[in-house]
Structure 1
């Protein structure tokens, strides 16, 4: 983003009167006290020939990468030129996108220590100096492992900072700490399958911290069209900026649907209640959110203070503050996980906004108004910079060039016309999905931007992927022996919940129940099921999903076909979120009764040609099929890509929950061991 002396766009609208609301103590005038690294490093896509890392600095950094492993001399690689792309996002904030092609491949299945050496004032400082919280006890550097095959995966979704639970990423850190002496038992990667941030459901204290960090780092501002505030400065200072952002839209009848869609906190009594009154709006807000959820360092730079709030909002603020304090306390462990385990990511709706691209009518409403188009575009741009690029850097080369060219005026505001053009490019971008040529192949689906829209009923939910995208998926799968497919929404979900969503959709109220599932659209459902039945399809499919705020596992087979394929649907959700307990228990029980194998209802579903057998969480007490608890999922795979163990590591620190076949339940229900001892026994095959 290039700073200029002025904007080439049209004159901005006059600012409205605002009332300053102090939300943090005055920041020090001396910005030299800022630490060099604000967030990261995050290990992203790693292969023996190429290493991709992400970090944010308070200034452009001169870095070198050091690699140390057994049987070789240490390697030192200067991160210059194309190896380190620096994108300025504020006066004191620079993205550092590290993409290192290696002349000599790194070994697989061997621990590799790494360090990012920072060169300042004639000396080098390593991670042990500028980010000691990223090191395990006794370690000199962080490390990683390049697995020769995907034999062990961690996965999860839905990490809401202010949800009152422990953090599943901190539980992953404890798991890694217990495997320091057994590197071969470490996971190959961490797959985050959606809702890594909640742009649409933000706690009041988090929004206050976001604004404090924006000021501390001088994150770039922007003009705003179609709202009652002229720009980001007016937004941050407006009395309605906390818990009342829906009031910032002009009171025109044409804005009623937009106000409800983005800020209304639409009541969804069947499943959940969306709290969108603090919806993130500007690019600076979303970028600050990423810094605050991935690193403990930015929190040390601000001293947020509660704003003046009316009684109901004040009480809510205090409750959210308590949950957020617990989240902050576990951030060092979460950051350490991301510094030791390669992570891949894909968006779901909350990374952008609730019910994103739900239907053709939703898209027409959201993209037809400049304010809502900017809201979606800013979240999507931040996703591209903070998540998407690390999955497949080559796909984003052109977009990064446009980001670098964004003009910034002398007041630190983005040129609004250039920003809107870039958002237009992002909305047309079609390479969010990606594939890893691993064993088995890993294929990550984009179920948000290439949807099968209903032309005859534009208010009905779109199919999660259109015909063209599904045909491309089929081509990717042909003649593979096994495949891991990441679909943010489960392909095989809970039939009762899908039936309730169907009823609300037919009544014209799809938004009330998050009616987004693969079976909700006849065309998409038929095509995805036919892909599994194709004669040249893989013998084994592992489908990893999230989204739903509970965890489950299904074994799936095609009826009347002896030679497969075998399909496993494994869902882990959420990392820091849960489903309302009483409601989920009721759904679970009713689903078992109404959709039992002998039930007529069972034969009326679209997947009646599939035999779906639920696995049972071994810690259940009443025959539950669904496990409700924050944490992180794990799947162990054999040489043919078939699961040998499916676990949910609970964020509360209790013993892992294993999903077992009904015949195995008696053995699995023996007194549970704790933590890594139980996992080690599973790996030895003695279960």
Structure 2
């Protein structure tokens, strides 16, 4: 009955936001069981104002619950909940409620019969990561995150010991505490980089759920013209680049928009299975967040007609997909317990999305590429964006969702895309302590005034001004930026070189310091006297993990000599959840960066770092000289009461734990 979810999006004392995808239009009953307090029961019908019902097909219905509670829930307690759905009763024999044991029997952790939420007074432990590509040849960091929650629960039980031994063990324990937030900072799905077996699964699930067909505009005659035509062609495995049209006699939209996949560290074939229709993208989300959709599909077998090279790729991808699917029940369990914030990056829509003004002109001026981008944003809005700030989703945007889902491929669909392309509230703030602020670094960009092919700044002036206003008079902040604000300098130099040569798409030349206006503006935010003392920046995007302690020189110098007014900044990058770089290449760049741009290097004075000191932390347990960790996993940040990090750790998908520790006694200026 339930295809995916429940996913706990926001959990506050007076508010709960829960995402759910079901096979039928149904009522929902939510029961909350606070310890030592009376239980609370709420029943929601599909037309209830506290639940947004979005029908997407005969057998796909989104139930987006945004519940305003009449009395506050207790904090620092495990609050069990039971989510029930009313089953269809054709005989009219009365209500029959199906609980999680009926549709997700493995959703609870060992020793518990109900899922739970926990609302902290202060955030003390955050999990974060980005870049989860299902067929990447590495483990899934969300499975490691689930394992961490399970271990934390076991540790809490073992702490109940009358002789005090458990308490002494807890005092000596170095494992992370119970996480209170999960932050996913981009590329939760890869719309542009899809495995052949995933395309087949998506196609089969669309048919199973009876999702409506969609005519695709701007495709040359003789090629598939709709989602149904694609299905008739077996999904056009590894051949979808043929559908992308020419924009002139010399260059194709594929070259302009997706040329970014042609990089030295990637193959040139990643965009050959790019998703196109809205139904495909909706199905993708169901298949990466839950095992249920996979149980509805026929057994997989390699299709006929593949070349030898493509057949080998298909078989390799099949093995990776089997391992990915085998652990999806643990991913669903994690998301049913830990409030999860999500913000997009490029692959949630398409590689190098809005990289430059030239990219935008090429993308939005052609009907097919515009449709693909619009579909990806609609799917993002329903599956990710809604839960970040449900209270601000306007009626116009809700209507856009409904129109696109009900009449894909029509003028109503195009009007919905107009609405979502104009939407300017993808960034968000959560009222945690410290507050969590996530930046929209994709749709509010500062376009280059020098050259339309140069990368745009990640935030325009207005967005930076809005950020500064949000930060005023705060003591600390958890700031989510998909791309690191302070990145690995040697890699940024390479990106700058390719941009100068007119090839920014070759290397994903998207970093904060690439645009002079954005770089100056964001540094001014850190230096402003009324912005926080403690900045914890959570980032991803780059497919490797690192931690920098950043100190700005004389940032807030005062005539009174109060040196303690300078901001403390921690740039923490955890990437990818299921993606990584080639080991030899990242090792070479890591050693080169440490040699060229160490804290004492005079080369720093030739960069924007001349006004700061950036000290990399050592991932303990890695080889000598390494400051970058190249392994899929999940990042853990444990915070003190003042919002500064106590401990920063990366837990790999294999279960290895790498603390990032300061070295060389250089984390602060003397």
Query: Is the TM value for this pair above 0.5?
Result: yes
1:599 to 598, 601, 604: 601
1:369 aligns to what?
Answer: 366
Distance 2:583 2:43 in 1: 52
2:123 to 150, 172, 177: 150
SS of the aligned residue for 2:572 comes to strand
Distance 2:646 2:269 in 1: 37
The gaps in structure 2 that reach 5 residues or longer are: 90-94, 157-175, 558-562
Q: Residues 168, 536 of structure 1: CA spacing in aligned structure 2 closer, same or farther, 3 A cutoff?
A: same
1:123 to 82, 96, 107: 96
Distance 2:512 2:529 in 1: 22
1:668 aligns to what?
Answer: none
Which runs of structure 2 are paired with 1:632-671 in the superposition (5 Å)? Answer: 632-654=634-656, 656-662=657-663
Distance 1:302 1:664 in 2: 57
Q: Which shows bigger deviation, 642-651 or 271-280?
A: 271-280
The number of residues matched between the two structures is 626
Q: 1:181 Cα shift?
A: 4.3
2:191 to 179, 185, 199: 199
Distance 2:409 2:370 in 1: 16
2:326 aligns to what?
Answer: 329
Q: 1:138 Cα shift?
A: 2.7
Which runs of structure 2 are paired with 1:178-577 in the superposition (5 Å)? Answer: 178-182=151-155, 185-228=177-220, 229-238=224-233, 241-250=236-245, 253=248, 256-262=251-257, 266-269=261-264, 275-303=270-298, 304-308=300-304, 309-403=306-400, 405-406=402-403, 414-560=408-554, 562-563=563-564, 564-577=566-579
Query: CA offsets, 1:606-631, max 9 Å, x none?
Result: 12111111110001112201000000
Q: 1:133 Cα shift?
A: 1.7
2:56 to 61, 78, 89: 89
Which runs of structure 2 are paired with 1:68-147 in the superposition (5 Å)? Answer: 68-80=33-45, 81-120=48-87, 121=89, 122-147=95-120
Distance 1:606 1:274 in 2: 36
Query: CA offsets, 1:250-280, max 9 Å, x none?
Result: 4663583312245667421167766110000
Query: CA offsets, 1:490-515, max 9 Å, x none?
Result: 00000000000000000000000000
Distance 1:514 1:357 in 2: 11
Runs of 4+ in 1 over 4 A off after TM superposition: 181-184, 262-265, 270-274
SS of the aligned residue for 1:340 comes to coil
Q: 1:407 Cα shift?
A: 7.3
Q: Residues 78, 650 of structure 1: CA spacing in aligned structure 2 closer, same or farther, 3 A cutoff?
A: same
1:62 to 27, 30, 42: 27
Distance 2:539 2:350 in 1: 19
Contact 1:406 1:415 in 2 (8 A): no
Distance 1:239 1:63 in 2: 37
Contact 1:155 1:190 in 2 (8 A): yes
Contact 1:260 1:266 in 2 (8 A): no
Contact 1:408 1:415 in 2 (8 A): no
Q: Residues 407, 208 of structure 1: CA spacing in aligned structure 2 closer, same or farther, 3 A cutoff?
A: closer
2:586 aligns to what?
Answer: 584
Contact 1:262 1:276 in 2 (8 A): no
SS of the aligned residue for 1:98 comes to strand
Distance 1:124 1:330 in 2: 28
Query: CA offsets, 1:122-180, max 9 Å, x none?
Result: 32221122211211123211111011111110000000000111111111111111111
Q: 1:79 Cα shift?
A: 1.7
Q: Residues 401, 592 of structure 1: CA spacing in aligned structure 2 closer, same or farther, 3 A cutoff?
A: closer
Contact 2:57 2:405 in 1 (8 A): no
2:159 aligns to what?
Answer: none
Q: Residues 90, 428 of structure 1: CA spacing in aligned structure 2 closer, same or farther, 3 A cutoff?
A: same
Contact 1:265 1:274 in 2 (8 A): no
Contact 2:461 2:518 in 1 (8 A): yes
Over the aligned positions, Cα root-mean-square deviation in angstroms equals: 1.8
Q: Which shows bigger deviation, 493-502 or 59-68?
A: 59-68
Q: 1:488 Cα shift?
A: 0.4
SS of the aligned residue for 1:323 comes to helix
Distance 2:245 2:540 in 1: 36
TM-score (norm 1): 0.88
Distance 2:212 2:256 in 1: 26
1:43 corresponds to 2:37? no
1:6 aligns to what?
Answer: none
Q: 1:441 Cα shift?
A: 1.5
Distance 2:490 2:210 in 1: 49
Distance 2:452 2:259 in 1: 22
TM-score (norm 2): 0.91
Contact 1:136 1:142 in 2 (8 A): yes
Distance 1:424 1:79 in 2: 31
Query: CA offsets, 1:476-501, max 9 Å, x none?
Result: 11111111100000000000000000
SS of the aligned residue for 1:607 comes to helix
Distance 1:541 1:461 in 2: 26
